[in-house]
Amino acid sequence: MKFTTNFAKPCAARIGILSEFERIPNRNFETPLVLIYTKGGCVPHLTKDVFKMVTSNPQLLSISLSSTFSMIESVRDTNINFADFVSMKEYINFLTISDSAYTTPSGFQQHHTVPVWTRNGKCALTANQYMDIIEVFKPDMYVAMYDGDTNIKSSKKRTSKAVQRSTSLFEQCFIRHSASEKLKSSEILGAIAGGYDIPARTVSINYLKNKSLIGYVIDGLHNNGPDVVNIPSVQIKAVVEHTMNLLPADKLKVSMGSWNPLTVLNLVELGIDVFDTSYPYVITENLQALTFLCDRDNCNNVGHVISLEEERYAEDFSPICSHCECLTCKNHTKAYLHHLCRTKELLRAVLLMIHNMHQYLEFFKIIRKSIKDNTLEDCKKKVNLKFKQENVIQTDEPTNTEAITYNNTYRMF
């Protein structure tokens, strides 16, 4: 696998190309791009055929170990890679440890293991056990095991410990990766740990920056889940900017999590290349539809989302967005979607996911075009305006995250 970019300056928006995948050598992907969020290797609420109707373009899938842990023995017994096992062999896949749409419980780190939160609870894995799983799944890309249990509230002791453990875990994973015949076609990425502690993060960067890696995952800024939507760009800017300035400019940079579109744009400006679609999934679970791209004069959507449960849509026979080309907007009205939401029909999530996924993929097309045309600042202003409109649910207000948050136990699906 190869990543190339003509823009060598750190901390700046750039266009890059991911290419030369050994499993699918003729696939090229332009960055900034978004990984398609999956659970158990499948796009939530959508069958494979429906997903292909949402987008016929080649995509990269985000696969979390949390949601696929129960499949390990079956994949091992069939002796095929994970992509073939879930019948998604035409898609490049990127394996992560945690599920970015679900809050990862904090405070369970141990010296030699990292907890993986599965549908059956916590499973503590050593680096060697993790690499055993990687050799079973044989992902196209994956992140080395690390301690990402930090956030804005983490102490200096916790961030320092996270870096020490991440360094030790990476070393064990990298040795296994380099010696493995089964992973010759897989690329390993290192995770930059250290939370919001600049000195700790610098130690992590200095350790990883000269390693033979295709790229890095910028981690340790949150504990995943729907609360990431509310993290403002100003909170993470200094840490990300420091990180990007120290890392090699020609390497791939990944940031996972349900970042809102404004934060995504600011991270793109700092040089982040890859994100994921857990944000539209979170919006779908809240029975909302994305409207932050609706900027035409005759569109009545003034905010960044609309909630289809609201009574004002009961007799609104217009589509979610009059200019959206998704299957939902071309065939259904807000009134029908409101009816599905009120009656708790399963089709509600299917139709909302189709729209929200389509909108988010269009968003990244706009980002790439804006970088090429040098109009990214104009794009930011338009999106920012949608988030500031009155009479809509603002991102800093509590959202209905019952479907994807947890009380006493951590559950998947």
Q: Please give the chain's pLDDT, 413 residues, in tens.
A: 999 998 778 889 999 999 999 999 999 999 999 999 999 999 999 999 999 999 999 999 999 999 999 999 999 999 999 999 999 999 999 999 999 999 999 999 888 999 999 988 999 999 999 999 999 999 999 999 999 999 999 999 999 999 999 999 999 999 999 999 999 999 999 999 999 999 999 999 999 999 999 999 999 999 999 999 999 999 999 999 999 999 999 999 999 999 999 999 999 999 999 999 999 999 999 999 999 998 766 677 888 999 999 999 999 999 999 889 999 999 999 999 999 999 999 999 999 999 999 999 999 999 999 999 999 999 999 999 888 764 334 434 444 444 444 333 333 32
Residue 382 exposure: Cα atoms within 13 Å on the Cβ side: 16
326 is known to lie in a ligand binding site: yes
For residue 243 the two structure tokens come to: 């990180």
> What does the pLDDT read at residue 237?
96
Cβ atoms 268, 370 nearer than 8 A = no
> What does the pLDDT read at residue 298?
64
> What does the pLDDT read at residue 411?
31
> What does the pLDDT read at residue 49?
97
DSSP 235-293: HHHHHHHHHHHHS-TTSEEE--S---HHHHHHHHHTT--EEETHHHHHHHHTTEEE-TT
123 is known to lie in a ligand binding site: no
Euclidean distance between CA atoms 143 and 211, whole angstroms? 14
3-state SS, residue 26: coil
Cβ atoms 257, 281 nearer than 8 A = no
Of the candidates 231, 230, 154, 182, which has an alpha carbon nearest to the alpha carbon of residue 22? 182
324 is known to lie in a ligand binding site: yes
Looking at the DSSP assignment, which residues form a beta bridge with residue 31?
16
pTM of the predicted protein model: 0.92
Q: How many residues does the chain have?
A: 413
Domains in the chain, please, with CATH?
A: 11-284 (3.20.20.105), 289-390 (no CATH)
358 is known to lie in a ligand binding site: no
